[in-house]
Amino acid sequence: MRTKSMLVGVSTLLMSSSLMFAGTVSGKVTFTGTPAKPKTIDMSKEPSCAKQHATPLTTESVVTGPNNGLENVVVYVSSGAPDDGQVPAQAVTYEQKGCQYLPHVLPMHVNQELKITNEDQTSHNIHPLAKVNHEWNKSQPPGTPAISEKYEKAEFISVKCNVHPWMHGVFAVMNTNHYDLSKGGGAFKLPNLPPGKYTITAWHEDYGTQTADITITSNETKDVNFTFKAKAY
């Protein structure tokens, strides 16, 4: 009994010390070259959606920010993360509003609850094109309750609406909670990483994947940057 409580005590101490000495990976995702110009989306066939956008929406596959920053890149710890299997209790929400998916890329943990809402006055039919996970598509008329789903395996899933062909998004289902989505100037931050060796992966829906191996030794902030080559078409 005594040994057990001692072990618990030591492991607690170790865990808290590892958090105390937790490091952070931060950096920027940028692109080189000239990306294709975003295309305007014509929603005239769905007036209730079109009128919600003062300026017409443009395609969101490639979203750039100042200083060649690349947004909507999922940066995550693909190996070495200490908390695999810890499913967050809180659900993530995917909104269909103005015939657009908000957010465009939704990161989540494997088995985390995913809530899909329809804020529009029109029916949507959400169809995530899962290949590893079970594929489904569900119709959601206006005013109906949120759809609740979860994915059992890690996968980057392209999402489309079977009613509105221009609607497109991504579910990024991962085996880790150490992830971030690059914003503004392409910045990302992965805090609370205990000392150890990690592989950091950056995934972009059009430009592919890049990885970087890093070692965190103490309470430090490691700078990791990713540069993708833009496609002109």
Partner 1 sequence: MARLFAITIVVIAILSAIPILRHTWVAPEDISTHGALIDEQMSETMAEAGISFLAAQFILAFFVWKFSNRAPDAKLKKFPGGAKGLVIGALLVVGIEVMALGLFGVKAWANVYLDAPSANAMPVQVQAGQFAFYFRYPGVDGKFGGLHPELINEGSQNIFGLDPEHDVDARDDIVAAEMAIPVNKEIHLLMHAKDVGHSFFVRELRVQQDFVPGLDVSLHFTATKIGKYEIVCTQLCGLGHYNMKAYLEVMSQQDFDDWLKKQAGQ
Q: Which residues bind partner 1 (CB under 8 A)?
A: 36, 39-46, 59-62, 122-123, 125, 139, 158, 160, 162-166, 168, 205-206, 231-233
Q: Are 35 and 62 in contact (CB under 8 A)?
A: yes
Nearer to partner 1, 18 or 162 (CB): 162
Backbone angles phi, psi at 84, to 5 degrees: -55, 135
Tokens of 41: 């989306």
Nearer to partner 1, 41 or 216 (CB): 41
68: amino acid identity, one letter: N
Nearer to partner 1, 159 or 193 (CB): 159
Q: Least Å distance between CB 41 and partner 1?
A: 7
Q: How far apart are CA 222 and CA 219, in angstroms?
A: 10
Query: Can you name the residues that pair with 29 across neighbouring β-strands?
Result: 226
Nearer to partner 1, 92 or 163 (CB): 163
Q: Least Å distance between CB 37 and partner 1?
A: 9
Q: Least Å distance between CB 61 and partner 1?
A: 4
Nearer to partner 1, 158 or 175 (CB): 158
Q: How far apart are CA 70 and CA 214, in angstroms?
A: 22
SS3 of residue 47 by DSSP:
helix
Nearer to partner 1, 44 or 90 (CB): 44
Q: Least Å distance between CB 82 and partner 1?
A: 34
Q: Least Å distance between CB 225 and partner 1?
A: 25
* Nearest partner of 153 among 127, 169, 174, judged by Cα: 174
SS3 of residue 5 by DSSP:
helix
User: Which DSSP string corresponds to 203-229?
Assistant: EETTTEEEEEEEEE-SS-EEE--EEEE
Q: Least Å distance between CB 30 and partner 1?
A: 20
